[in-house]
Structure 1
Amino acid sequence: MGTSTSKVLGQNAKRTCQPSNEIQQSPSSPALATACSSNGSSPSVDSRFLCCGQPDAPSPHFRFLDLPAEMRVMIYEELVVVGKIFYTHNLHDVENGRRCHGFELFKKPKLTIFLVCKQIHTEAEKVYLTKNLFVLPVNWPAFQPFTTRNTSDEVEDDDESSKQPAAPRYLFSASALDSVKNISISIDQKQLEHYGCSHSAWTQIYEPAIGPFDQLTRHQRFDHIHDLELDDVADQWLDLVHSLPVPPTGLHYLEVDFTNAYCPIGCCRPIHLAVGDWITLVAPKKLDVIGVLPDEERQFTYVDLNGMHYTRRILKQQYGLRFRQPGEPTPWDEWMIRHPAAVYTLP
């Protein structure tokens, strides 16, 4: 830390830091759950930075909270700011998107600092939430704290509801929804339910409108079913993106990956169905779109509820829309390590 820092650390203690009973007694809390899952296995922290009691040396000793706030922030940044926070890096994420490419090049955050005491938890979590990019899982609305915000939209069918985890994992604490600044999501075929048409649907709904099943050609039936599927796609994708957190000052950075944005059948890429007024609501200062083909960029246009027409030009001016190509730089490149072999590899 240098000579000046050592002098500060050697000052006599004037303040104590009481451990948080709430955190210590609740190992399943969002803070601990996140600490044990982000970017791999359980992280560790250098106890020299967390000296809230008597250190190993008999004297002199110091209290961490006696350090200037600016110096504490520097220590927090060293421990919890790693560039990107990955929750999943399975084969689907790697093979059907670009968000997890190079995940092994980012270090793991040392989040056990959250468990020291409430004040340190509050200070360190703010640094953690505002300075990292959170690469959310494909089906992130099924995780806490988002599930508590979407209970009215849950599927009522028993078979479908059984797919939801009994105890959804925390991606971060509920209070973090107002603080997180940088998020990466995907628009993915995996997020879609494939309903199709049952016998009762054909006989009670569709036959009165388009005719009996056996009197339609295969192409007529396919076109009709496909149109119905796209109606469901629009509802599901828009419900998904409307679940994004909306901090009071908006997001600083939003990355959206459309690499696997196929319809449930896989015959088309209806990207326009996922583009809408949610962009206006989230109001990112920088919107990076990846995984789109050149002729798909024209689909980024919509009309909001007030009748305002948003074109690509307006989205670029107001929300920093960029169609990022492979190899183009991002704000997170500086955190990539040069020797990834010592971190971890894809299982």
Structure 2
Amino acid sequence: MGSSATKVSGPEQRPAEQEQRVKTDETQAIADQIASVSQGRLKSTDVEDMQDNAAPFRFFDLPAELRCLVYDELLVVGKVYYKDTGYLEAQNTVRFEDKKYFREPYLAILRTCKTVHAEAEKVYLSKNLFVLPLRWQLYSPFVCCENKLNSRSLFSRRGLSYVRNLSIAVDSAKTLDNENESMSYDAYGWRNADHHDYDTMTQTQRFEVTHNKMIAEMYGDGIATSCELLKLQRSSSNLSVQYVEMDWTNAYCRFGCCRPLRAFPYTWICYLTPTVIYNIGTRSLHEEEAIEQCICYNLEAEAEELDEWGCNDIDQSALDKCVIFFVGSQPVDYWNQWKYETEQRKVDFQHSPRH
């Protein structure tokens, strides 16, 4: 058979242009179906038609943009809550008020294969707000030593570099770094207390001494927590946390008699340089002003100290872009676009709520 520029097109063959056009049409049809699902417009009749006319189509034949649409639909849910969050926290904090109106992510897709996991994990970690549990700084990957809390991880060590949005509760009464640490003076403490004799002091004086010690311990815990936040920045050279939500609902001292907002340092802001710091759970305009003043003071003090040491590497231009919001001052909460009007999950506050 001699060479010829004309190709024979049998029943199983199509011209190249026609084949490409058909493939493009099939891809566009899939894209339209994904868009319909993501917008909740897919009807039962559409599903039946899809099943009747379905032809084998490998997932990885889809363009990366369409695969990301699938990951968005399955994994991007707005707010991600962790399993086994203490029910007292869930029952007594602003962060959990709307939990039942946010659906759960379909994490099973991450176990499909390594390639899907590599693609989908970045979407999952970068586009959701992760509501960290109390004492999150004692969980892996934030600590290396073994303890009863880090038997499970909040993130993988590699995945930590993808995280962009965090929610943290300031709850000093329940965030002791050392669970064996006493919240007040005991016999040993009074014996070694400088210039304080228990028997010669009034009850009011004893309370003041004990309270001051407790505030100092809270400040130490705050510094430790701030240092853990800095590990986020140090874990990856390209990390860029964009949004940090801070819940002040339970920012009381351990006696519950005051709210020492200045016990939580803010030096981590210099290095994480979030675009937005969204504060919820404040009790008054006075508290909001105190938080703003404390943030400004911390940042100025940190910059001055680094200047003295000649190692000021703070990205001031990034810091200048940081905006501090308080609930009520921002017209619409960004994460509400994923919030449903009807309940999406059962939340039983009598038991530990599930993810």
- For normalisation by structure 2, the TM-score amounts to 0.71
CA contact (8 A) 2:270 2:319 kept: no
Show CA shifts across 1:247-296 (max 9, x none): 63421110000110111111111111113211212211010011112211
Paired residue type of 1:277: T
Farther off after superposition, 84-93 or 250-259: 84-93
Show CA shifts across 1:294-315 (max 9, x none): 2112322223333279xxxx99
| Superposition pairs of residues 238-249 of structure 1, within 5 angstroms | 238-244=223-229, 245-246=232-233, 248-249=238-239
Partners in 2 of 1:307 and 1:278 — Cα distance? Answer: 15
Paired residue type of 2:286: D
Choose which of 226, 236, 240 in structure 2 pairs with 1:250: 240
CA pair 217-100 structure 1, distance change in 2 beyond 3 A: same
Aligned-residue offset at 1:96: 2.5
Partners in 2 of 1:166 and 1:202 — Cα distance? Answer: 32
1:228 counterpart SS class: helix
Aligned-residue offset at 1:196: 1.7
2:252 counterpart SS class: coil
| Amino-acid identity (%) | 32
Partners in 2 of 1:294 and 1:220 — Cα distance? Answer: 31
CA pair 115-210 structure 1, distance change in 2 beyond 3 A: same
**Residue aligning to 1:267:** 257
Partners in 1 of 2:185 and 2:347 — Cα distance? Answer: 43
Choose which of 3, 24, 27 in structure 2 pairs with 1:8: 27
1:332 counterpart SS class: helix
Where do 5+ consecutive residues of structure 1 fail to align?
A: 12-55, 155-163
Aligned-residue offset at 1:95: 3.4
2:117 counterpart SS class: helix
2:60 corresponds to 1:65: yes
**Residue aligning to 1:339:** 342
Partners in 2 of 1:336 and 1:166 — Cα distance? Answer: 30
Partners in 2 of 1:213 and 1:305 — Cα distance? Answer: 38
Q: Which protein is richer in helix relative to its size?
A: 2
**Residue aligning to 1:183:** 166
CA pair 123-92 structure 1, distance change in 2 beyond 3 A: same
**Residue aligning to 1:324:** 327
Partners in 1 of 2:347 and 2:272 — Cα distance? Answer: 34
Show CA shifts across 1:150-169 (max 9, x none): x4xx9xxxxxxxxx526522
Partners in 1 of 2:23 and 2:329 — Cα distance? Answer: 44
| Superposition pairs of residues 291-330 of structure 1, within 5 angstroms | 291-292=281-282, 293-300=284-291, 301=294, 302-303=297-298, 304-307=301-304, 318-325=321-328, 329-330=332-333
**Residue aligning to 2:71:** 76
2:157 corresponds to 1:174: yes
CA pair 90-224 structure 1, distance change in 2 beyond 3 A: closer
2:116 counterpart SS class: helix
Choose which of 77, 88, 91 in structure 2 pairs with 1:92: 88
Q: Per chain length, whose mean CA-contact separation is higher, i.e. which structure has more relative contact order (CA < 8 Å, sep 6+)?
A: 2
2:124 corresponds to 1:128: yes
Partners in 1 of 2:277 and 2:201 — Cα distance? Answer: 45
CA RMSD of aligned residues (A): 3.1
CA contact (8 A) 2:101 2:342 kept: yes
1:234 counterpart SS class: helix
Partners in 1 of 2:244 and 2:185 — Cα distance? Answer: 36
Partners in 1 of 2:169 and 2:318 — Cα distance? Answer: 19
Matched length = 280
Choose which of 175, 199, 210 in structure 1 pairs with 2:187: 199
CA contact (8 A) 1:141 1:147 kept: yes
Where do 5+ consecutive residues of structure 2 fail to align?
A: 1-21, 31-50, 307-316, 350-355
Paired residue type of 2:96: C
